[in-house]
A and B are shown apart, each in its own frame.
Chain A
Amino acid sequence: MKKATQLALGVLTAVGGFFDVGNIATCTQAGAHFRFQLIWSLILATIVVIFLIEMSGRFAAVTKKALPDAIREHLGFSFWFVPFLILTAVHLLVLAAEIGGICFALHLITGLPIQVWALPVAILVWLFLWRSTFNAIENSTSILGLITLCFVVAAIWHHPPVHEVLAGSLPSMPSHDPANYWFIAVSIVGAVIAPYLFYFYSSGAVEDEWDSTYIPINRVVAVIGMGFGSIISVGAIIVAGIVLAPRGIKVSDYHQAALMLTEIFPFWGYLLFAISMAIACLGAAVEVALSMSYTFAQTFGWNWGEDLEPIKDARFSLVYTIALLLASLFMVAGIDPLKLTIMTMATNAFVLPFVTIPFLLLMNDRKLLRDASNGIISNIATAAIVVLALVLAVVSIPLTFMGGS
């Protein structure tokens, strides 16, 4: 029974982590600009993320160690230091984008400017972390997150042309604006394979005291949880492709994205979009902030745990406190949340080699994992993922300048 409830961890990671501000931004842009043509990049990224999540969970279950802990220990401080700094910076940007998403949702509901909401939102997320235990966070966000299913409902309601959706599931050359096409493709991959997912998921498995008997459950969680998140994202692409694309609405502002649900829910479509966005981003903000605390505590060997009261792990708690404060300043400064999100997702794609290369090294360590180390299929997949990550890292920067406007 306890193990059945572990599926909640997967659903939380799926809804909070998979479907977040990055997916909302990149999927609506993909649908609005290229209809269903970019669904393939979402599917590709989902397959990658399933493999990586499965490996993070299996590693934590067997070694009782989360990723940052194991990377520092086995690959050494000198190896980890630069990726650690870069990932900290990227996590801060992602956190700022998630806070931006919540602020925008509140702006949509109340009409008050985004800047006004920055600090209250940061405090709300902080209160959640300061007062709750890991399980409370896990359960509440996964139940609330079900509201994002409205994108799937809307997609089905619109009766999308099935053959076109299937055609979009396979890669194809763009009919127009190739630089923008490839930029959005890279951003979708960056949004789906968000680095914090793996540090959060493996640390969560350690918090939940997984052992080797969790390996099968972990596999189910990875496939179903990530698949679930992916279906919501496909829903968002389809709705944007049907509602926004024919009207020539290019999403350069979240206000335009918010129109996508108004066709089937004329009266409360706006509100539904805002609430979905607020909840998806809240769940993700909590996970990103926790990931930062996990990464710091494990890198330096501090005592950590979201179930401890803050007084028992002061350094752990202060990392997310400071991170939330700094991240909220982006919105206080009046940076456009959509632009910030899109740039951050391209940055996510850029740092993927730092995330994926340790997987290749750690998952093959027979002294650590023994029978649970990677088999041939996982290894070929990981090697392919590392190659993909290196390609994305090389192309993401020039594409940002060519197609990111």
Chain B
Amino acid sequence: MREQIDIIRDILDKQLVDRDHTAMGRVDGIVLSIDDGAPRIDHFELGFVVLACRLHPRVEQWLRAIRTRWSVRKSARQIVPWSAVQDITQREIRLDVHAIETSAFDWEKWLRKNIVSKIPGSGEE
């Protein structure tokens, strides 16, 4: 890892991959925690609600109302603790997790199970 890093340029919006290099979303939000010393990165946040909040707080409220009714995801914001970060490269951020087991794949799994696997030729045995 490099010595100096720009949190906005080098981390925010960057591609996240898991141990096997499976893409699992982007760094939609970063939370700093501030106690006595300098602020440090506490965790990343992922999800449409986080993105909506970046556009406008009202978009977020509106999206929240929809998702309480429709979403297949358990929580609005998926949290990735800083400790899960394994490596930051020019290309991506690698996490020490298994994508399929995280909520980043809730939608993907739901669509695979309920829609794609029902269409012939999807590769599902």
Contact = CB atoms under 8 A, between A and B. Distances in A.
B124 A311 contact: yes
Contact size range, A? 20 to 34
Contact of B54 (A77, A302, A303, A310): A77
Given A73-B14, A315-B107, A317-B116, A310 B122 contact: yes
Contact of B121 (A73, A130, A297): A130
A255 interface: no
Interface-centre pick from A78, A297, A303 (highest chain B CB count, 10 A): A303
A303 B26 contact: no
What secondary structure prevails in chain A residues at the interface with B?
helix
B45 interface: no
B111 A312 contact: no
Interface string A30-73: 00000000000000000000000000000000011100010011
A73 B115 CA distance: 30
Interface of B: 9, 12-16, 22-26, 28, 51, 54-55, 90-91, 99, 107-108, 111-112, 115-117, 119, 121-124
A314 B119 CA distance: 11
Given A73-B13, A317-B116, A318-B116, A303 B121 contact: no
Contact of A65 (B28, B91, B117, B122): B91
A296 to B, nearest CB: 12
Contacts of A297: 23
Given A311-B112, A315-B107, A303 B23 contact: yes
Interface of A: 63-65, 69, 72-74, 76-78, 81, 127, 130-131, 297, 300-304, 309-315, 317-318, 368
A314 B111 CA distance: 6
A301 B26 contact: yes
A64 B116 CA distance: 29
Contact of A303 (B12, B24, B28): B24
Given A74-B13, A309-B122, 14 more contacts: A65-B91, A69-B15, A76-B13, A78-B54, A127-B121, A130-B119, A130-B122, A301-B15, A301-B26, A302-B23, A303-B22, A309-B123, A310-B122, A317-B122
